[in-house]
């Protein structure tokens, strides 16, 4: 995730936005192509999710996270996921996250129990939620939301499967390609919610 000094001004929100449901996208490949084209042309707003961190880490911690995780978009099955982690996104950037396409307004749910670290808005990520898992060793980021769940605030506890927002196209997402940009990072200090070491969400979710 970006260093705090590199982040845009904090325009945090805790107000939900009304959204509507369009038709389902035809294929994930078309989503990936559109997202890549859009982000290639907006590199000044690049969503750099993670940077290396000296966080202590273990296979046991990762397995616990794997056991807790669920797919963070309602109605999406693991067979529909595509591994877009480390895909090129222009200007020598890689995509340290996965994109999960879904109709606009589809509920985005907490992938693990934990708590909200920060509701944040940026030019690249649009409406975003940064959350900690129950072990507080991992940071989960949900981006391009069209709105937040009512009463969601910084510090709020989260139950796994709780609605936190809705799929959208805020930030630098292509306006006709609603999707959730979902990232996971390990961290030695989750109070620094903007940075950590990338973990591939696809490898943890592909057999769910």
pTM: 0.75
Helices (H) then strands (E): counts for the chain: 3, 11
Mean pLDDT of 173-201: 93
Mean pLDDT of 155-164: 98
The mean predicted confidence, pLDDT, of the chain is 77
Mean pLDDT of 38-42: 40
Checking if the pLDDT of 17 tops 60, the result is no
pLDDT of residue 16: 31
Checking if the pLDDT of 31 tops 70, the result is no
Element at 158 (helix H, strand E): strand 157-158
Mean pLDDT of 136-163: 97
Q: Is 78 left (phi over 0), alpha (psi -120 to 50) or beta?
A: alpha
pLDDT of residue 87: 63
Residue written as tokens 């890689």? 94
Q: Is 139 left (phi over 0), alpha (psi -120 to 50) or beta?
A: beta
Checking if the pLDDT of 44 tops 50, the result is no
pLDDT of residue 29: 38
Q: Which residue has the higher pLDDT, 30 or 60?
A: 60
pLDDT of residue 97: 87
User: What domains appear along the chain, each with residue ranges and CATH number?
Assistant: 4-205 (2.70.70.10)
Give tens-digit pLDDT for 70-126: 999 999 998 889 888 766 555 556 668 899 999 999 999 999 999 999 999 999 899
First to last CA, the chain: 26
Give tens-digit pLDDT for 128-147: 999 999 999 999 999 999 99
Distance CA 82, CA 75 (A): 15
Asked if residues 196 and 185 have their Cβ atoms less than 8 Å apart, the reply is yes
């Amino acid at each position: 995730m970006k260093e705090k000094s590199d982040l845009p001004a904090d325009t945090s929100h805790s107000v939900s936005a009304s959204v509507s449901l369009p038709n389902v996208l035809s294929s994930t490949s078309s989503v990936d192509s559109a997202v890549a084209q859009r982000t290639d042309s907006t590199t000044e707003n690049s969503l750099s999710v993670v940077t290396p961190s000296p966080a202590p880490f273990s296979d046991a911690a990762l397995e616990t996270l794997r056991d807790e995780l669920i797919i963070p978009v309602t109605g999406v099955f693991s067979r529909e996921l595509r591994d877009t982690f480390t895909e090129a996104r222009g200007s020598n950037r890689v995509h340290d996250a996965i994109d999960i396409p879904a109709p606009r307004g589809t509920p985005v749910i907490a992938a693990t129990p934990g708590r909200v670290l920060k509701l944040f808005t940026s030019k690249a990520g649009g409406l975003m939620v940064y959350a900690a898992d129950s072990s507080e060793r991992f940071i989960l980021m949900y981006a391009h939301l069209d709105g937040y769940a009512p009463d969601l605030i910084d510090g709020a506890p989260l139950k796994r499967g709780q609605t936190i927002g809705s799929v959208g196209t805020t930030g630098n997402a292509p306006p006709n390609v609603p999707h959730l940009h979902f990232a996971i990072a390990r961290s030695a200090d989750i109070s620094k919610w903007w940075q950590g070491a990338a973990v591939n969400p696809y490898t943890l979710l592909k057999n769910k």
